[in-house]
Structure 1
C-alpha cells in the first residue's frame, strides 16, 4: 500500500484499483499536489492542475497525462471512493510504473479556536532548492521533525541571507498597517491559497507587497497569517519570539473574503 494513503481505492494510470494492491514505485523524483474536497467539490481544481503541470515544465519533463483528463480522472476517483470531505493527493512518479496516482490522505483542519486565537510557529533555517516545483524533498522531512519537536503548527523557512520565505506546508503573510507583505513569488512555492489571497486583497483595494522580507523586520509587523490548502487563511499568534494580533481587522477581512470565495466556487461548480 502507498505510504500515507487512507482511501479504499487508488486511481492508477487512469484505472481504479483497490488500495491494498497498490505500492509506490521506487524513484527519486516525485511530483505531487494536494487538493481539498468540500461537499464533493475539488476546490480550485483548475489552479491546482496548472501548478501540477507547471512543475513538470520547470523540471523539464513532459506531461504525464493531458490536462483535460486530470479532472475526469479525479472525478472518477471521488465517485468510487464516495469522498465528499477531505484531502486527495495527485502524484507523478517520474520514470517509474505506475507513473500517475490519485488517493486520499489524512487531513488536519484548524479548529475554531485556532482561527480565533491564532497558532504558534517557529523559524527553521532552510530553503527549497527549486521553490516553484512541488516535489517530495528531504527538507520537508526535517521540517516535520522540527514541527513535532517544538509542538507548533508549522515552521517558516529562513534562507542563508536571513530572508523569511515560506512555511514548510504553507505560505506566510505579514500585516504592516494597511498593507500585506509576503515573499516574492520567485522565492517560494506559490500556493493556491496564496494566489487567491492576493487576488482577494487586490479586489478589496488592499496593498500587497511581494518582496524580500528580512528576519530583522519581523518585529515591525502588526499581524501575520498562514495560507494553505487545509488551513485556508489562519492567523499566527506567535512566530519564534514574536507575538502578533490574531484578530487584526485586516486579517479578519481576508478570512471572510476567502471563505466567501470558496463558497462561491462550490456553488458555481455544483
Structure 2
C-alpha cells in the first residue's frame, strides 16, 4: 500500500513545493536521519525518534544546529501544512565539509506499507552478506541501500537480513529481526544493530507483559531451530516472516500474534494520549 500526496517540505526554515525537491542536492557529505510514521496526524513515538537522532549525532561528533524543540516544531508544522495525515516523515541533517554547507530537511516521503493479508501470511526474506560500518548510527549508506534494494528486487522478497563475517545474523536492511523459540523471543544484541524505535517498544512490551526476550548472538546455522520470526520497523510495525531463504516459519504463531496485538494497542494508546493534549510541544 503506497502513501504519498504532499504539497510542501521544510528546508532550513522555508516551505518549498514538494515537486521542487531534488535529492541529488544531498548526495554528497554526511547525512543523519530519522523516519517517523504519522497516523491520523500524530507522529508516532516522536520523542524516541528524536532521542535516537541525538544519539546518532553524538556517536559521530555531528553537530545538530537545531534544538530538540525546533525539530519537533518543524515536524508538527509539516503535518499542519500538508493534507496527508497518514504517511511517513523523513527528517535529516546534512553537512558537506568542502563547501561548509548545512541543511535541515523535513518532508513526507513516498511510503509502502505491507498489505493487511501479509500480517496473516507473513513475508519472504533472504540472507545477505553485508555489515553496517557503524550500526548504532542512523546515517545514510547509499552503497548498502542500493545493493540491498537490488537483492530484494531480483529475488522478489520483502527484506534481506544482513549477516556478518562470523555468519551471525544482525538486522534487516531497513528493519530489526526477532525469532521465537517456544515461549522465548530472541534478537541480536543492541551493540550490533541499528536499534530501531519499534524494536525498543517490542522489548519493553515483552518486559511489561512478562514475555522472555533475550538479546544474544544468533548464528545462521541456528535459524532452523526457531518456530517463528518477525521484522519490526516504522512502516511494517510487527510483521510476521514466512521464510528466510529455504527455511520456513509459522506466521500464525500464538506468541507472535499476541505481540502484534500488543504493539497495535500501544500505538492506539500513544495516539489517544497525544490527542488528549498530554504530549505537548
TM-score under structure 2 length normalisation: 0.91
Pairing 1:131–2:135 present = yes
Task: Give 3-state SS (helix, strand or coil) of 2:232's partner.
Answer: strand
Which residue of structure 2 aligns with residue 119 of structure 1? 123
For 1:16 and 1:98, locate their aligned partners in 2 and report how far apart those are by CA, in whole Å.
17
Q: CA deviation at 1:15?
A: 2.3
Pairing 1:10–2:9 present = yes
Q: CA deviation at 1:91?
A: 1.1
Task: Give 3-state SS (helix, strand or coil) of 2:58's partner.
Answer: helix
Task: Give 3-state SS (helix, strand or coil) of 2:50's partner.
Answer: helix
1:113-164 alpha-carbon deviations (Å, 9 max, x no partner)? 1000101000000010100111111111100110001010000000011000
Tell me if the contact between 2:93 and 2:103 (Cα under 8 Å) persists in the aligned partners: yes
The runs of at least 4 consecutive aligned structure 1 residues that moved more than 3 Å come to: 20-23, 95-98
Which residue of structure 2 aligns with residue 105 of structure 1? 109
For 2:123 and 2:175, locate their aligned partners in 1 and report how far apart those are by CA, in whole Å.
13
1:225-255 alpha-carbon deviations (Å, 9 max, x no partner)? 0000000000001111110000101100100
Task: Give 3-state SS (helix, strand or coil) of 1:99's partner.
Answer: strand
Pairing 1:178–2:183 present = yes
Which residue of structure 1 aligns with residue 240 of structure 2? 235
Tell me if the contact between 2:95 and 2:102 (Cα under 8 Å) persists in the aligned partners: no
Task: Give 3-state SS (helix, strand or coil) of 2:272's partner.
Answer: helix
Which residue of structure 2 aligns with residue 214 of structure 1? 219
Which residue of structure 2 aligns with residue 89 of structure 1? 90
| Structure 1, 87-96 or 205-214: larger mean CA deviation | 87-96
Aligned ranges for residues 63-78 of structure 1 at < 5 Å?
63-78=64-79
| Structure 1, 62-71 or 160-169: larger mean CA deviation | 62-71
Q: CA deviation at 1:29?
A: 1.3
Unaligned runs of 5+ in 2: 276-281
Task: Give 3-state SS (helix, strand or coil) of 2:240's partner.
Answer: strand
| Structure 1, 19-28 or 251-260: larger mean CA deviation | 19-28
Which residue of structure 2 aligns with residue 158 of structure 1? 163
Which residue of structure 2 aligns with residue 28 of structure 1? 29
CA RMSD of superposed structures (Å): 1.4
Tell me if the contact between 1:9 and 1:18 (Cα under 8 Å) persists in the aligned partners: yes
For 2:5 and 2:140, locate their aligned partners in 1 and report how far apart those are by CA, in whole Å.
19
Task: Give 3-state SS (helix, strand or coil) of 1:233's partner.
Answer: strand
Q: CA deviation at 1:180?
A: 0.5
Task: Give 3-state SS (helix, strand or coil) of 2:34's partner.
Answer: strand
Q: CA deviation at 1:32?
A: 1.1
For 2:263 and 2:138, locate their aligned partners in 1 and report how far apart those are by CA, in whole Å.
23
Unaligned runs of 5+ in 1: none
For 1:62 and 1:41, locate their aligned partners in 2 and report how far apart those are by CA, in whole Å.
27
Q: CA deviation at 1:48?
A: 0.6
